[in-house]
Amino acid sequence: MKTLLRPALSLFALLSIVTGIIYPLTVTAIAGVAFPEQAAGSLIFKDGKPAGSALIGQNFTDLKHFWGRPSATSPQPYNATASGGSNQGPLNPALADAVTGRIDMLNAADPGNPRPIPADLVTASGSGLDPHISPAAAEYQAVRVARARGLSVEKVKGLIAQHTEQRQWGIFGEPRVNVLQLNLALDSLR
Does 131 sit behind a cis peptide bond, omega within 30 degrees of 0 on the bond before it?
no
Which residues are CB-neighbours of 89 under 8 A, at least 6 positions away? 95
Q: How do residues 71-89 score in pLDDT, each as one tens digit? A: 877 777 877 777 776 677 7
* Number of compact structural domains in the chain: 2
Flag whether pLDDT at 190 surpasses 70.
no
Residues 171 and 90 in one domain: yes
Q: How do residues 144-159 score in pLDDT, each as one tens digit? A: 999 999 999 999 999 9
At 93, phi and psi to the nearest 5? -60, -30
Residues 116 and 182 in one domain: yes
Residues 123 and 164 in one domain: yes
Residues 27 and 55 in one domain: no
Domain hosting 36: range is 1-40
Residues 86 and 110 in one domain: yes
Model-level pTM?
0.78
Work out the mean pLDDT of the chain and round it to a whole number. 88
Residues 24 and 49 in one domain: no
Residues 109 and 72 in one domain: yes
